Each structure stands twice: as C-alpha cells, then as structure tokens.
Amino acid sequence: MPEPSVAEKPERLRRLPWTGPDGSAEYAAPADGVEQFADRTEEHIIRMARNDAAYALTMAERPGVSRADLCLLVRKLAGAVNDVSGVAELRGERLSEPIYGPAARAFEEALRGALRQH
C-alpha cells in the first residue's frame, strides 16, 4: 500500500502542559494556535523550578532556618520536580513523532559519542 501524501496524513495532536477542569489531559492540533502559548507555559514551568531550586539552596545555607520552613521547601521542590518531569514527558512525546525521529537519533548518537570522549 502506498504511503499517504502529506495532505492525507492525520494531524498529530499535542498534549498540553495543563489539564481540563475535570483533571483530564487536554490536546490541541497545531492549527489551533496554542503552540506558542504551550511552549511559553513549559518554559515558565522550567524557569520557576530553577528559581525554586536556587531558593532552596539559599535557605539550606541559612543557620536559623526552621524545620517547618525546610518541610515547606521540600514540598515546594517536590512539586517543581513533578512539574518539570511533566514537561519532560511532553517533550519526549513530541520528539518521538516520526518527523523528529531521525534528528533525535542523530542528536543521541552525537551526545553518546561526545560522552565517550570524556
């Protein structure tokens, strides 16, 4: 059977970095116009996690920090790790799309080669 043309291929849906009101995953087609907003949301999640990590390191160095403050900080960091792992999953889903496969494999091979040199 011949390969379908680009016009016949179904459009892939992107899972978004937020959920619907009922907590279920939300998806959008590239033509929906939410791609840039979703990208910015993912970038914001990563930036906030980095800020939380920097704040945690600062707080850990303070001699007078209380156990309650540290517990609150651990909960905040756990949330940040969870959020960033969600972004990693989303990006992994997109990298596994057929159009990115060859580039992702080439990047992986180059990275592995560079790591072997060190």
Query: Per-residue confidence at 100, pLDDT binned at 50, 70, 90?
Result: low
Mean pLDDT of 18-34: 89
The pLDDT assigned to 32 comes to 77
- The yes-or-no verdict on residue 9 having pLDDT over 50 is no
For the chain, count helices (H), then strands (E): 3, 2
Delimit the domains of the chain by residue range: 14-116
Query: Per-residue confidence at 4, pLDDT binned at 50, 70, 90?
Result: very low
Model pTM?
0.68
- What is the residue-wise DSSP string for 83-107? HHHHHHHHHHHHHTSTTTHHHHHHH
Phi, psi of 63 (to 5 degrees): -70, -30
